[in-house]
Amino acid sequence: MIQSLTRINELAQKQREHGLNDVEKEEQRVLRQEYLREIRGQVLGTFSRLTVVDAMGNDVTPDKLRAEKEKGFIID
């Protein structure tokens, strides 16, 4: 599990119950950005290992995915 998620949830609960001060709002914003960066990294990692194969065993990975791998945006 992503480490910052616990603190993000604590701040969200506090925000609902009492509100947050400016320091806590900034912490929440930074933690959410870090969380999204980690999730995006996980998704890209998953796509980097993705290969689509049809019933005949042929590699039919979409050209767009292949192109992204070749550009280096997705690490294989």
Look up the pTM and report it. 0.68
Pairwise CA distance, residues 55 & 16, whole Å = 51
Beta pairing partners, 53 = 59
pLDDT value at position 56? 93
- N- to C-terminal Cα distance for the chain? 23
> What distance in Å separates the CA atoms of residue 34 and residue 53, rounded to the nearest whole number?
34
Instruction: Dump pLDDT digits (tens) for 10-67.
Output: 999 999 999 999 999 999 999 999 999 999 988 888 887 888 899 999 999 888 888 8
pLDDT, one tens digit per residue, over 62-73 is: 888 888 777 766
